[in-house]
Amino acid sequence: MSFLLGVAIFVVALLGSIMLHEAGHFATAKLFGMKATQFFVGFGRTIWSRQRGETEYGIKAIPAGGFVKIVGMTDLEDVDPADEPRSFRNQPGWQRITVLAAGSFMHFALAFVLLFIVAAGIGQQATGSGTSVGTVESCVPANLTSGCAKGDPASPASDAGIRVGDKIVSIAGIRVATWSQMGNAIRGQQAGQVVPVVVDRHGHLVTLHARLAHLARHGSYLGVSPPLVFQPVGPVSAVSYAGREFWQMLSGSASVVASLPKAIPDLFAKNRASTAGGQVTSVVGAGDVTGQVLAARIGWQPKAELVLLIIASLNIFVGAFNLLPLLPLDGGHIAVVMYERARAGLARLLGRPDPGPVDFRRLVPVSVGVFALLVGVGLLLIMADLVNPVHILQ
């Protein structure tokens, strides 16, 4: 049930992001007096619509995007002469660029607000003191930064029966009072060796036995983590946190796009989680990860934080990707407007007439080709997420 709730939360957040994206285009177009005749979420057959003034608002059957219909977006469109003064193509270049960029701006604004909420409302993470167990890892991962992949062995702590909330008293006869002491005690033992682990469980001492595993570049591994304490911060610190995280997520989005060609061969590999293929996902994969987070046996604060970070990261990626100078993305249309204005400026300097708008008939094949490529990659990612999902929490 928790898993399905997580997926539902992600779907609702995705649809909300789409509505905000289109609202950005719509609001700026209205602000500049352009005529917008449709505002729809989704594609395909119309499920519901209502006419308000000159605009039809509605929902379509396929929730895979949305659109705002602004008259005269290109020179290919026939426009009623009475509407031509209010057409998109008849407006100054800076206004057209503002309308086109407003969708991505809404994604960025939403992400920043969510990151602010994480810091000011939920709090920033700090490791708890003592030796209480906050998390029992389910597996021995390939390395400390990768999640569990299919086929990874169970962690020593999980096999030994260590539970969340246990307070570790000693390891291999070495008494420990801090997490640092416990880490030194674990790494001081030989991997593969069975060691006694004494825990305080609800006031009773329980002796368990764990066969320590070996973790690359780490040494002997038990598979426990300390509890996390969340400390809300003030508005100024929250803004600073949101700015730092925003930049890191934006840089990460660029890395994901750059690694996509290398990641495709790994999408269906057994060890996908520990390869570049584990770093890229579709909306199906992101929804699955959100479901995993809500189904995980962790507190509400880490759950809420992870869900908000997933939604913020998705919005930053979509906002940035949409600004790439490729048709039919908004960034491609912005590039066309900038080319038109640069060409008009050069003609003015040379004393020549304005060449006018770009002939979109020449750009249609490029736009169709890029669209087909994006759909193909998207379907491939969806297929990989369905048959070879990445499990970050188990």
Interval 302-346: pLDDT, tens: 888 989 999 999 999 999 999 999 998 999 999 999 999 999 999
Token pair 């659109």: residue = 67
**Residue 221 bridge partners (DSSP):** 213
Out of 22, 137, 305, 340, pick the active-site residue: 22
pLDDT of residue 121: 92
Domain end (from 200, 226, 252) = 226
One domain, residues 297 and 392: yes
Number of domains in the chain: 2
Which structural domain range is residue 277 located in? 96-125+232-394
One domain, residues 213 and 273: no
Q: Give pLDDT tens digits for 197-233.
A: 999 999 999 999 999 998 877 789 998 888 877 888 8
- CA atoms of 273 and 270, how far apart (whole Å): 8
- Asked if 245 is an active-site residue, the reply is no
- CA atoms of 138 and 100, how far apart (whole Å): 46
- CA atoms of 178 and 182, how far apart (whole Å): 6
One domain, residues 388 and 350: yes
pTM of the model: 0.77
Domain end (from 226, 261, 289) = 226
Q: Give pLDDT tens digits for 98-144.
A: 999 999 999 999 999 999 999 999 987 766 668 888 888 888 887 76
One domain, residues 141 and 207: yes
**Dihedral of the CA atoms 306, 311, 314, 318 (nearest 10)?**
-160
Domain end (from 162, 194, 226) = 226
Average pLDDT over all residues of the chain = 87
- Evaluate whether residue 383 is within a structural domain: yes
- Evaluate whether residue 12 is within a structural domain: no
- Evaluate whether residue 76 is within a structural domain: no
Q: Give pLDDT tens digits for 47-74.
A: 999 999 999 999 998 877 789 999 999 8
- Evaluate whether residue 146 is within a structural domain: yes
